[in-house]
Amino acid sequence: MKLFGPHEKVLAASRTVWDQSFTAMAEKYPNVIAMTADLSRSICTETFRKKVPDRFFNCGIAEQNMIGMAAGLALCGKIPYCTTFAPFASMRSGEQFRTDACYMGLNVRVIASYGGIPIAGPSHAGLEDAGIIRSFPGATVVSPSDLGMISKIFEASVDYAGPMYIRLGVGINEVYLYDGNYEFKIGKAIKARHGSDATIISFGMILQQALEAALELEQEGIDVGLLDMPTLKPLDREAVLEAARDTGKIVTMEDHSIYNGLGSAISEVLAESGVPCKFKRLGIPDLYPSYGAQEKLRNKYGYGYAAAVEAIKGML
């Protein structure tokens, strides 16, 4: 497995990547259904709609019914993938996902885009979504940390038993970081980079910021490991504890509220483990963010790569 550096990272339009990956998977598996709440042109399922029209259902602007219908389809053996924005997926139809899909343990997949701070503003921003869904018994929460991982998640999701919340980023400046030559397993962390002085654990597309922080610290002779955590739930506790034992210093990074997301999940593991470890959470603070580009707002709110560099230096 190779991790591309920032100077060689490969840009692509993430929505196109996911549309193509999803369509390729759906063509292979006849029980896969695509549903959307009038967001087919935003969270692209256009290729799917054109190639597999009889398995594409636009539910209109009605997220609750979409997830309820998905539960009904799943009760009859289908594997529905429902697309909408993260705040709608986790809150507007959050109860349907909990009480219909999770309570019955159904193979409903929610694909939530705009995880983080999208240009559209807080009404459309997935700030709390992963934390909300994480608290539903039986739910699995996954987020790709680079574009290549999207197809790996889709492949892994087809045979996966139970409901899944697949959290996509905001869809801007997303890149290929991995060369693709690695095994992806739901519930398993990926040791993206070895390091002995400290570990950054990240959730989602913010991995590229974690990588930049590690490379900057490397210039100063500080050896930082990267533990990529695409699955927030079930959490790979062993990998967290191993990082705590090996480096004794952990910083978490996520495009999510500082509450209830990755940082909270990791702190729960550490606090109960008895393993001594310095610890810092970086994420969206307890506020409704401004409009603007996510990359600039990460810096404004102190959870981007510069904040990670500072946090790690503070621990040494």
Partner 1 sequence: MADKATMERLRDKVYEYRKDILQLCYKAKGMHVGGDLSCAEVIVTLYEYVMRIDPQNPSWEDRDRFVISKGHGGAALYLVMAMRGYFGKEELLATYKGHETRFGMHPCKTLCPELDSSSGSLGHGLPIATGMALAGRLNKKSYRTFCMVGDGEMMEGAIWEAAMAAAHYKLGSLIVILDRNRLCLDGFTEEIMGVEPVAGKWQAFGWNAIVIDGNNLKEVMDVFDHLPVPESGVPTAIISQTVKGKGVSFMENNPAYHHAVINDEQFRQAIEEIEAAYQQTKGGAKA
Distance CA 46, CA 66 (A): 18
Residues between 34 and 73 with contacts to partner 1, criterion CB under 8 A: 54-55, 57, 59-60, 62, 64-73
β 278-284/249-257 pair status: parallel
Q: Between 100 and 236, whose beta carbon lies closer to partner 1?
A: 100
- 238 near partner 1, judged by CB under 8 A: no
The structure tokens 């400046």 sit at 173
63 counts as catalytic: yes
- 137 near partner 1, judged by CB under 8 A: no
Distance CA 34, CA 40 (A): 10
Total residues belonging to the chain: 316
How far apart are CB 34 and partner 1 at their closest, in Å? 12
Q: Between 107 and 199, whose beta carbon lies closer to partner 1?
A: 107
How far apart are CB 187 and partner 1 at their closest, in Å? 22
State the greatest distance between any 2 C-alpha atoms of the chain, in Å, as a whole number.
Answer: 58
CB 315 within 8 A of CB 249: yes
* Strand order through the sheet with 190-193: 190-193, 224-228, 198-203, 249-257, 278-284
- 76 near partner 1, judged by CB under 8 A: yes
How far apart are CB 156 and partner 1 at their closest, in Å? 24
Peptide bond into 144 cis (omega under 30): no
Q: Between 139 and 307, whose beta carbon lies closer to partner 1?
A: 139
Q: Between 161 and 271, whose beta carbon lies closer to partner 1?
A: 161
How far apart are CB 51 and partner 1 at their closest, in Å? 16
Sign of torsion over alpha carbons 307, 312, 315, 316: negative
Residues between 92 and 131 with contacts to partner 1, criterion CB under 8 A: 95-96, 99-100, 103-105
Q: Between 10 and 75, whose beta carbon lies closer to partner 1?
A: 75
Q: Between 94 and 148, whose beta carbon lies closer to partner 1?
A: 94
- 75 near partner 1, judged by CB under 8 A: yes
**Catalytic residue among 8, 46, 63, 128, which?**
63
How far apart are CB 77 and partner 1 at their closest, in Å? 7
How far apart are CB 209 and partner 1 at their closest, in Å? 39
Binding interface with partner 1 (CB under 8 A)? 33, 54-55, 57, 59-60, 62, 64-78, 80, 95-96, 99-100, 103-105
Which residue numbers are catalytic?
63
